[in-house]
């Protein structure tokens, strides 16, 4: 075999593990910045008195759930450059993921808020509580419990979603796997390792989500 073929070595594994950290960082960024968006969407989706707000929230969720994440990444990534924004690439690929998180987590928050019976809202407001007080003292304690298992489940979806940053050439775990596989020709080995790393990140999350859900069901 000619020397231009670089054999697969432990260094490649280290490179893949580093790339996995990028994947985790993207996921953390998208989730933490997506939560405020989600809170906004979840709250306007449950606004009873203002139909226009409800409608905007509904449209937002439908758009993000009705189009491929791949398209969202393409559009946001190239749309940002059209707007003339020169953002670091990490931020540019995170923005579509943040908006995506906003839509899915927004639905989870809405479901949580709606899990609180009407009577409790009414009881709170008849005691003279304001809307923020109602949310904080009446809704949140119940809603958060309902929201946690699906939120952890969504994290799994988000980690998988970050793999699509591959399409704009951003080096995260999948792109790193592709690069290593092209330079070493150890394709199957590389993608097995990549798959195992993703599994290693996601499976614990899946187990936690399932466990919490089962616990919630038992105590319901």
Partner 1 sequence: MTYTFHWEVPLRELPAFLWGALATLEMSGVACLLGLLVATCGALARLSKRRFLRGAATAYVEAIRNTPFIVQLFYVYFGLVTFGINLEAFTVAIITLTVNCGAYSTEIIRAGIQSIHRGQTEAGLSLGMTYWQVFRYVILMPTLRVVWPPLASQFIATMLGSSVASQISAEELTYAGMMLESRTFRTFEIFFFIAIIYFLMARLFSFLFSLTGQKVFREAWGQL
Give the binding site for partner 1 (CB under 8 A): 62-63, 65-72, 74-75, 78-79, 82-84, 156, 159-161, 163-164, 166-167, 174, 177-178, 181, 187-188, 191-192, 194-195, 198-199, 202-203, 206
Residue 196 CB, nearest distance to partner 1 (Å)? Answer: 9
Q: Which is nearer to partner 1, 22 or 135 (CB)?
A: 22
CB-based burial label for 26 (10 Å; 0-12, 13-18, 19+): buried
Q: Which is nearer to partner 1, 68 or 128 (CB)?
A: 68
Residue 129 CB, nearest distance to partner 1 (Å)? Answer: 37
Are the beta carbons of 74 and 167 closer than 8 angstroms? yes
Q: How far apart are CA 202 and CA 158, in angstroms?
A: 10
Residue 146 CB, nearest distance to partner 1 (Å)? Answer: 19
Q: Which is nearer to partner 1, 139 or 155 (CB)?
A: 155
Q: How far apart are CA 97 and CA 168, in angstroms?
A: 13
Residue 43 CB, nearest distance to partner 1 (Å)? Answer: 24
Contacts 24+ apart (CB under 8 A), 136-139: 139/113
Q: Which is nearer to partner 1, 35 or 194 (CB)?
A: 194
Q: Which is nearer to partner 1, 134 or 155 (CB)?
A: 155
Are the beta carbons of 156 and 206 closer than 8 angstroms? yes
Which positions ≥6 away from 96 have C-beta within 8 Å? 69, 72, 73, 75, 76, 77
Q: Which two tokens stand for residue 92?
A: 């540019």
Residue 201 CB, nearest distance to partner 1 (Å)? Answer: 8
Residue 50 CB, nearest distance to partner 1 (Å)? Answer: 24
Which residue, among 61, 28, 29, 27, has the nearest Cα to 44 in the 3D structure? 61
Q: Which is nearer to partner 1, 43 or 98 (CB)?
A: 98
């Amino acid at each position: 075999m000619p020397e231009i073929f670089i054999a697969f070595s432990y260094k490649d594994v280290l490179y893949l593990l580093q790339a996995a950290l990028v994947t985790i960082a993207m996921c953390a960024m998208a989730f933490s910045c997506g939560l405020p968006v989600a809170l906004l969407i979840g709250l306007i989706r449950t606004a009873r008195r203002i139909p226009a707000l409800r409608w905007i929230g509904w449209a937002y969720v439908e758009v993000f759930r009705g189009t491929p994440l791949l398209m969202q990444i393409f559009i946001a990534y190239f749309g940002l450059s059209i707007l003339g924004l020169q953002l670091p690439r990490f931020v540019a690929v995170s923005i579509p993921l943040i908006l995506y998180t906003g839509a899915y987590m927004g639905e989870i928050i809405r479901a949580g808020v709606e899990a609180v019976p009407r009577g409790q809202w009414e009881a709170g407001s008849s005691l003279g509580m304001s809307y923020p007080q109602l949310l904080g003292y009446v809704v949140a304690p119940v809603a958060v419990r309902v929201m946690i298992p699906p939120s952890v489940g969504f994290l799994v979806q988000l980690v998988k979603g970050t793999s699509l940053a591959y399409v704009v050439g951003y080096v995260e775990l999948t792109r790193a796997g592709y690069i290593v596989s092209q330079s070493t020709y150890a394709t199957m080995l590389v993608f097995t390792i990549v798959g195992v790393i993703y599994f290693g990140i996601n499976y614990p999350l899946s187990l936690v989500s399932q466990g919490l859900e089962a616990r919630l069901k038992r105590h319901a």
